[in-house]
Amino acid sequence: MKESEAKYHIVVPGKIGLIKQILEEEKYKHQQTVEETDTYYNHPCRDFSETDEALRIRVRRTTRGEEIRVLTYKGPRKTLGDIKIREEYEVFIDDDELMRKILLSLGFSVVGIVRKVRTIYRGPKDCEAVIDYLENTKQYYLEIECSIDEINRIAERIRSCIEPEHRTYLEIILGRIERK
């Protein structure tokens, strides 16, 4: 499946309330706030930082006490302005620790762990917007996943509060330079 999304660094954290208000005006409804821990792996025979791929195990903890575990592969990014398009495949797993042991046994290695608090909004036309507090950096980010036109329209309304961010969260916490 292809995903189209844009990520923005919220450069005026005091305006998060305004961003939430604009999302609600645009018919985005708050779904839940969750804690996510993403553990990223590198392939034993190729460097995902060079091939621009990602493999991660995500553990999402909901306020209702549920834990959801997902193994995700992301292919190389293609960018159109602020928007990134890439192949993404996800599968739910029952046991993240067992999956970790399998990956490590196959020669994969852990390259980084990203921890965030994510506030999720669902919009019209299967759109999603999330406000992430990245615990590793103590900074806020906004991601919008939808059609290119919808992403651009929402971003324009909050342009004074955000800056485009082309790096992945893993690249941000590892201090890597953005890919072009």
Any idea which residues carry the catalytic annotation?
40
Q: What are phi and psi of 54, to 5 degrees?
A: -145, 140
Task: Yes or no: say if 178 and 166 are a contact pair by the CB < 8 Å rule.
Answer: yes
84 vs 5: CA distance, rounded Å: 5
134 vs 140: CA distance, rounded Å: 6
Task: Yes or no: say if 83 and 92 are a contact pair by the CB < 8 Å rule.
Answer: no
Written in H, E and C, the secondary structure of 62-119 is: CCCCCEEEEEEEECCCEEECCEEEEEEEEEECCCHHHHHHHHHHCCCEEEEEEEEEEE
Which pair of structure tokens corresponds to residue 47?
Answer: 């460097």
